[in-house]
Amino acid sequence: KGKEKGYFKKNPEQYVVMPTFSVKMRKKLMEKLDKIEEIANNSPLNKIINRGGKTLGIITSGSSYNYVMDVVSENNLKVKILKLTFSYPFPDKLVLDFINSVDNILVAEEVEPVMEKEVLAIIGKYNIKKKIYGKLDGTLPRIYEYNPDIISFGMAKIVDKELIKREKFSTKLSLPLRSAVLCPGCPHRATYFALKKAIKKLKLKEEEIIFSTDIGCYALGLEPPYKMGDYCISMGSSLGIGCGFSKATNQKVISFIGDSTFFHAGIPPLVNAVHNRDKILLVIMDNR
């Protein structure tokens, strides 16, 4: 209410992704990517911080940049830093100029080595003989979230200087670990409890039953004391994969799925289950 309605202008060549139009659409897409890469190469959102050295250049982005700056500032390291805001399309020209301005490169990024692989592609393309440090050579880990400790540990392998240890960033906790649990008063607790009682009453062995669960908080039924969750792959997989197990094994299959997940991705595998007469027990958990 109060907003003017828009108008859809027909343009099948742009909006219908079929072989008839896809070649032309790809050409336009590549042209757009070239323009975006030009923006990425010249954007003021990218930063170069020169701390008075060229022996080591650090390419980083996101939260890793903050950790790099903490370590560099605290240890007064003479390095050059490129903070990237764009990762795709990758700003090749900007990164190439930066690589040529330093002796060696450290790529600091969380999770997968996306930028590192782009940097390696650039030095390979231009036959640049410089060392690239990062995840792929083991300088930095490929798992866990980063913090100043992890960045410091990796940089200590490169710079000829003992770096300050920041024990206050240690992730070691004195408190015991506690698994996630279903909330107090959650109706799913009663559902799992009732099912366990029924299984016991029928004198079935839980270890011989396949419990398939799905995407939702009810998947916490895999934790003690219920231990009723043997796999959880994707939305609707409790039913789809459960049907497969019912055909491939002689084990009983009990599938758990929330009402929202059922309406989103559970109906097609249920139709298949009925059509193929799969022997599974489906429990739809009402999340209200």
Question: What is the chain's pLDDT, residue by residue, as a tens digit (288 residues)?
Answer: 567 888 999 999 989 999 889 988 999 999 999 999 999 999 999 999 999 888 999 999 999 999 999 999 999 999 999 999 988 999 999 999 999 999 999 999 999 999 999 999 999 999 999 999 999 999 999 998 999 999 999 999 998 777 776 665 555 666 777 888 999 989 999 999 999 999 999 999 998 999 999 999 999 999 999 999 999 999 999 999 999 999 999 999 999 999 999 999 999 999 999 999 999 999 999 877
Phi and psi torsions of 256, nearest 5° = -105, 135
**What is the domain extent for residue 191?**
187-285
Q: Residue 32 domain-assigned?
A: no
Q: Is residue 75 part of a domain?
A: yes
- CA Rg, the chain, in Å? 27
Q: Does residue 8 sit within a domain?
A: no
Cα 31 from Cα 15, distance rounded (Å): 17
Q: Are 77 and 53 contacting, i.e. CB atoms less than 8 angstroms apart?
A: yes
278 in the same domain as 192: yes
Q: Would 120 be classed as within a structural domain?
A: yes
Q: Is residue 224 part of a domain?
A: yes
Residue 104 counted as domain residue: yes
- Regarding whether 192 and 145 lie in a shared domain, the answer is no
Q: What's 241's domain CATH number? A: 3.40.50.970
Altogether, the residues listed in the chain come to a count of 288
Say if 34 falls within a structural domain: no
10 in any annotated domain: no
**Exposure class string for 168-199: b at 16+ Cβ within 10 A, else e:** eeeeeeeeeeeeeebeeebebbebbeebbeeb
Give the C-alpha separation, 285 to 214, whole Å: 10
**What is the model's pTM?**
0.80
Here the CATH number for the domain that contains residue 147 is 3.40.50.920
How many other C-beta atoms can be found within 10 angstroms of the C-beta atom of residue 63? 13
